[in-house]
């Protein structure tokens, strides 16, 4: 009985579909270039993954609640820039981080208000916000990076625990674990699945649908800003292009990890694997000396395949 | 000339893990109406999808004969070439296009790319007159009610000169007078030599219009009878596969004091300005009572429940007293807090969440009451509580972790009911509780409602099913045009009395 259930769980868990290509990719790259599994290379991959994951974990919540966000990249840049402006003005580092997060939250609140309360489509609204926030970043920085990171602040993005594992990786992992626990084992997580699965059913069951949607929109922006702050710490300065393109990469990673585009299902563990897969591919391509121009093509194809699998899964369960 | 216009022989269709049809036989004569009945999941829809070419030739076993010759229905267009046309239960209209364009959808008169509007509108006008719809050909379809749309769908296929019409539960959105009209048109078509396959749950309709009736159960042909030579009980027995002792089990419960009083409830009409769909309605509900609300579709019955529950809010005026206390309900969350529950009519739309498990659906309205261990949900306890409910309602599914979408209509309805049982409200609203539920599960749902009132819950039930309304309710209110036009106690109720009040 127990064994039987395990097989069932394995078959229905979306994560397996991501784990398999990940393992294959790792093996292939290692065979071509054994440097792949060197400690320093793996650390590099995990570090890249952790930047994706910090946003990806929050984005998983948003997709589960059947929404999306294309403004992640701009908010990432904004978070870093706001933080570094404060630091340049001599504000203590801890407070600078808070300021960066607040900048993200402000965008998130505005975004949530337009999408949830004014009922405009998230796709267009977040696209507009992406442009607007990018504009704000360019105007305030005149397109220049903002430098002046204090030594203490740099530890966050560059420091290692026990001299080996980057702190960023630990932060991302903690966030991911906490988010996964919330999603599967709390009342809050359950309500997100309900909101994404069928908002009208959820509303009639007394679940505060609008409130939940506002919360996850704000959450994503705050964590996008956090990613930006960590990047600023890593490079000791805030780049205006810091997050450009990440909104698509992270969204792709989350969907590849098995979170449904149609809401109502998903997991952070899947998103970890999705982020890892994309990081391994971009790293691996360099190691096996494939032109990096191929990377976008491969990402695109993988994303299309995952969306197709998602749709197929839906069809399967509705035909039964 | 073959004896039958259409024959389906030994049709077998398999889905992964499921045998949907098992050597089904169907014979259709020219100019007859053949009823097809069976419980949900009996295979009716699958059979019709094969006939319409949706499941093309080659995806099933068996043979289809047309005028005695074997044919291969390789896709929908081929089926239409043979004059096989389908009319589905769900309305499919382009709402924001004109009536004329919908009627001639894919079939517009005119040469080349040019549309011949003159004959388009003239043709439409004559058809509208014929079916008694008071509208202009250029009016948008969105202005029509669901009954008129269904009629339009019928006429859309009619103008394509079909030889075989397949209707799948065509009356589920129609009012009684519209049903009459539909039946009239179908009889007219039959007399012109068009054959119909009429899929329906409703015994009354089968007897009224069908010449013969075919019963399916679990994907097999159980029997085929001349309608005037078979008793209703026999058909039901064949559909269910066992004898049903009592179709409408009714539990006797002592009626207590007033638990709900509603005064001056008004709800504005969603499309017509200045008109109320519910107009100054006042009523009360007693403890342990099942209060039935009857009337025609569109009379405002569902809106009464929706407005009380806070599903509808815009422009609603009401005074609600629960157990004597004036209560303000602005949204469903308020309603639930005040002790109300609501099993809606459209369970797919807003009753359950299809990709979630039975367990997760059960706790939708009671997330706050989930058992916890520290910050986390106590999954073990949650599972065991869900299992108890699962067993109590006799939900037929592999386990509490089964996805709700895979269940039959009756079992889905039980899951929706269980959502409110877990919450245990004081007052439960149920809107068409047995819609799309097969005969066997119906009786179980009625006894469940009996159990609920026994435990002190009071129920308001909207129902279009007259036998059900009369058998289950302790008291019946009839709504017509947004007003209460009749109130009957158990000893005064009769189908005629309710109908008379409903058309007032």
User: pLDDT by residue (tens digit) across B422-464?
Assistant: 998 999 999 999 887 877 788 889 999 999 999 899 999 999 8
Residue of B nearest to A208 (CA): B333
Q: How many pairs of residues across A and B have Cβ atoms under 8 Å apart?
A: 90
User: Which structural domain, as residue segments, surrounds residue B69?
Assistant: 6-240
From B364, B388, B423, give the residue that closes a domain.
Answer: B423
What kind and span of H or E run contains B7? strand B6-15
Instruction: Choose among A231, A196, A246, A279: nearest CA to A70.
Output: A246
- Tell me, what's the pLDDT at A12? 52
Mean per-residue pLDDT over chain B, rounded: 88
Same domain, residue pair B211 and B302? no
Same domain, residue pair B447 and B419? no
Could you tell me if B308 and B397 are in contact, meaning their C-beta atoms sit under 8 angstroms apart?
no
- Tell me, what's the pLDDT at B497? 86
Residue that wins the pLDDT comparison between A301 and A96? A96
Chain B positions touching A187 (Cβ under 8 A) are: 367-368, 370, 372, 377
Angle between helical axes of A39-64 and A72-88 (0-180°, round to 10): 110
The reply to whether B246 falls in a domain is no
- Tell me, what's the pLDDT at A131? 96
The reply to whether B346 falls in a domain is no
Residues in contact with B176: Cβ distance below 8 Å, sequence separation at least 6, in sequence order: B296, B499
Chain A positions touching B342 (Cβ under 8 A) are: 204
CB contact, 8 Å: B55 with chain A?
A: no
B57 to each of A148, B41, B54, how far by Cα in Å? Answer: 72, 22, 9
From B240, B265, B280, give the residue that closes a domain.
Answer: B240
- A200-204, B172-176, B478-482: the lowest-pLDDT one: B172-176
Going by pLDDT thresholds of 50, 70 and 90, the confidence category of residue B43 is confident
Return the C-alpha torsion angle A161, A165, A166, A171, nearest 10. -80
- Tell me, what's the pLDDT at B90? 67
- Tell me, what's the pLDDT at A7? 46
B309/A264 touch (CB, cutoff 8 Å), yes or no: no
The residues facing B140 across adjacent strands are B98
Domains of chain A: 15-310 (1.10.3470)
Range picked from A3-17, B89-103, B318-332 for highest mean pLDDT: B318-332
CB contact, 8 Å: A14 with chain B?
A: no
CATH number of the domain within which B443 lies: 3.40.50.300
Which of residues 328 through 347 in chain B touch A, CB cutoff 8 A?
Answer: 331-333, 335-337, 342, 344
Going by pLDDT thresholds of 50, 70 and 90, the confidence category of residue A289 is confident
The reply to whether B101 falls in a domain is yes
pTM: 0.77
Same domain, residue pair B335 and B401? no
Closest in A186, A193, A207 to B375, CB measured: A186
Mutate to test the interface with B, among A204, A207, A265, A316 (most CBs of B within 10 A): A204
Interval B412-416 mean pLDDT: 93
Sign of the alpha-carbon torsion through B185, B187, B188, B192: positive
Residue A153 has pLDDT above 90, yes or no: yes
The residues facing B326 across adjacent strands are B321
Domain count, chain B: 3
From B374, B392, B423, give the residue that closes a domain.
Answer: B423
What kind and span of H or E run contains B412? helix B409-423
Express each pLDDT in B250-259 by its tens digit: 778 888 899 9
CB contact, 8 Å: B354 with chain A?
A: yes
Q: What are φ and ψ of residue A205, in 5° steps?
A: -90, 10
Closest in B311, B355, B379 to A204, CB measured: B311
Token duo for residue B139? 């009016």
Enter the DSSP assignment of B171.
T
CA distance B230 to B232: 7
Q: How many CB atoms lie within 10 A of CB A16?
A: 14
Same domain, residue pair B143 and B159? yes
Q: Provide the H-helix boundaries in chain A.
A: 2-12, 15-32, 39-64, 72-88, 93-112, 122-141, 151-158, 167-185, 187-197, 199-204, 209-235, 246-256, 268-287, 294-319
CB contact, 8 Å: B351 with chain A?
A: yes
């Amino acid at each position: 009985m127990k064994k039987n259930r395990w097989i069932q769980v394995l078959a229905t868990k979306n994560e397996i579909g991501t784990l398999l290509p990940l393992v294959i990719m790792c093996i292939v790259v290692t065979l071509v270039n054994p440097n792949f599994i060197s400690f320093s290379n793996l650390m590099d991959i995990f570090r890249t993954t952790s930047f994706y994951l910090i946003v990806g974990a929050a984005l998983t919540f948003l997709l589960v609640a059947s929404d999306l966000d294309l403004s992640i990249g701009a908010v990432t840049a904004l978070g870093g820039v706001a933080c570094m402006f404060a630091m340049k003005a001599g504000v203590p580092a801890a407070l600078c981080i808070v300021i960066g997060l607040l900048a993200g939250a402000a965008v998130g609140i505005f975004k949530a208000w337009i999408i949830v309360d004014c009922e405009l489509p998230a796709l267009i609204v977040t696209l507009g916000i992406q442009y607007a926030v990018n504009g704000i970043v360019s105007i305030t920085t005149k397109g220049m990076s903002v430098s002046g990171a204090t030594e203490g602040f740099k530890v966050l993005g560059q420091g290692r625990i026990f001299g080996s594992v980057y702190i960023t990786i630990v932060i991302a992992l903690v966030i991911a674990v906490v988010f996964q626990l919330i999603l599967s084992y709390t009342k809050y997580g359950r309500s997100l699945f309900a909101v994404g699965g069928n908002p009208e059913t959820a509303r009639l069951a007394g679940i505060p649908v609008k409130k939940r949607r506002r919360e996850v929109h704000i959450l994503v922006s705050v964590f996008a800003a956090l990613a930006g702050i960590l990047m600023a710490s890593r490079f000791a300065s805030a780049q205006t292009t810091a997050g450009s393109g990440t909104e698509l990469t992270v969204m792709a990673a989350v969907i590849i990890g098995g979170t449904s585009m149609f809401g109502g299902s998903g997991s952070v563990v899947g998103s970890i694997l999705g982020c890892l897969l994309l990081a391994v591919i971009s790293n691996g391509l360099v190691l096996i000396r494939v032109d990096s121009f191929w990377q976008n093509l491969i990402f695109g194809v993988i994303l299309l395949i995952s969306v197709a699998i998602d749709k197929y899964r839906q069809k399967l369960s509705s035909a039964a | 000339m073959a004896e039958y216009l259409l024959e389906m022989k030994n049709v077998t269709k398999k889905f992964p893990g499921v045998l949907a049809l098992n050597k089904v036989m169907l014979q259709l004569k020219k100019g007859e109406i053949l009823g097809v009945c069976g419980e949900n999941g009996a295979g009716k829809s699958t059979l019709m999808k094969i006939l319409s070419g949706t499941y093309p030739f080659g995806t099933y076993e068996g043979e289809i004969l047309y005028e005695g010759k074997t044919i291969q229905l390789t896709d929908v267009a081929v089926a239409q070439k043979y004059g096989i046309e389908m009319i589905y239960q769900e309305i499919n209209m382009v709402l924001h296009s004109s009536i004329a364009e919908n009627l001639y959808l894919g079939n517009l008169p005119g040469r080349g790319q040019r549309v011949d509007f003159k004959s388009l509108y003239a043709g439409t006008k004559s058809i509208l007159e014929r079916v008694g719809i008071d509208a202009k050909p250029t009016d948008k379809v969105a202005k029509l009610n669901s009954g008129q749309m269904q009629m339009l769908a019928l006429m859309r296929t009619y103008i394509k000169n079909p030889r075989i019409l397949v209707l799948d539960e065509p009356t589920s959105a129609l009012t009684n007078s519209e049903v009459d009209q539909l039946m009239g048109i179908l009889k007219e078509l039959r007399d012109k030599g068009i054959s119909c396959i009429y899929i329906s749950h409703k015994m009354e309709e089968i007897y009224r219009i069908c010449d013969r009736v075919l019963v399916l159960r679990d994907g097999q042909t159980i029997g085929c009878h001349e309608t005037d030579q078979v008793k209703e009980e026999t058909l039901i027995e064949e559909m269910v596969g066992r004898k049903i002792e009592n179709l409408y089990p009714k539990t006797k419960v002592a009626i207590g004091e007033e638990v709900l009083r509603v005064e001056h409830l008004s709800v504005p009409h969603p499309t017509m300005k200045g008109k109320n769909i519910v107009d100054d309605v006042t009523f009360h509900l007693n403890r342990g009572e099942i209060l039935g609300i009857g009337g025609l579709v569109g009379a405002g019955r569902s809106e009464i429940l929706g407005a009380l529950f806070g599903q509808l809010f815009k422009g609603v005026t009401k005074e609600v007293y629960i157990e004597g206390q004036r209560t303000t309900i602005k949204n469903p969350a308020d309603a639930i807090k005040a002790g109300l529950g609501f099993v809606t009519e459209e369970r797919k739309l807003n009753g359950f969440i299809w990709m979630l498990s039975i367990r997760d659906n059960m706790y939708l309205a009671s997330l706050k009451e989930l058992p916890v261990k520290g910050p986390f949900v106590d999954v073990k306890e949650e599972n065991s509580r869900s299992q108890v409910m699962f067993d109590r309602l006799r939900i037929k599914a592999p386990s509490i972790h089964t996805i709700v979408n895979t269940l039959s209509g009756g079992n889905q309805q039980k899951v929706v009911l269980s959502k409110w049982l877990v919450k245990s409200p004081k007052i439960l609203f149920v809107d068409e509780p047995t819609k799309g539920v097969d005969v066997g599960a119906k009786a179980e749902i009625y006894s469940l409602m009996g159990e609920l009132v026994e435990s002190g819950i009071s129920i308001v039930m909207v129902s279009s099913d007259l036998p059900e309304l009369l058998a289950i309710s302790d008291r019946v209110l009839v709504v017509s045009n947004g007003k209460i036009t009749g109130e009957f106690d158990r000893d005064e109720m009769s189908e005629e009395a309710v109908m008379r009040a409903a058309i007032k």
